[in-house]
Amino acid sequence: MKKVLIAMIALVTIASADKLVNLKIDGMTCSMCIGDIKASVGKVKGVSDTTVYLKEGRAEVKTRKGAKPQEMCDAVKKLGYGCTVVK
C-alpha cells in the first residue's frame, strides 16, 4: 500500500510539470535574507520550491501550473528587496 502511494505521488509530481521562474533580486546581504525570501515566495500560490543564490542576486522558483511570477516578485519586494522577473 505504501509503495502504491509513493508511486502515485511520483506520478502527480511529473504530471504537474514544474516550470522554473527566474527572479533577479537586489539587496540581499546574508543568509537571513535568503531565509526570509524563501519563506515569503513559498507562500505564493503555485510555488513548490525556491532556491536563492545570494552572491548572484537571483532566485529560481519551481512552480506549478497557474503560478504568477509577478506575485513572487511582489512578495520579495514586500520584504524590501528589489525584484524583477527574468524573461
- In angstroms, give the least distance from the CB of 12 to Cu ion: 35
Rounded Cα distance between 59 and 71, Å, is 14
12 in contact with Cu ion (CB under 5 A): no
Rounded Cα distance between 34 and 43, Å, is 14
Nearer to Cu ion, 18 or 36 (CB): 36
In what side-by-side order are the strands of the sheet with 58-63? Answer: 47-53, 58-63, 19-26, 82-86
- Judged by CB under 5 A, the chain residues 19 through 48 that form the site for Cu ion are 29-30, 32-33
- In angstroms, give the least distance from the CB of 25 to Cu ion: 11
- In angstroms, give the least distance from the CB of 51 to Cu ion: 16
The number of C-alpha atoms within 13 Å of 69 and in the hemisphere containing its C-beta is: 15
Binding residues (CB under 5 A) for Cu ion: these are 29-30, 32-33
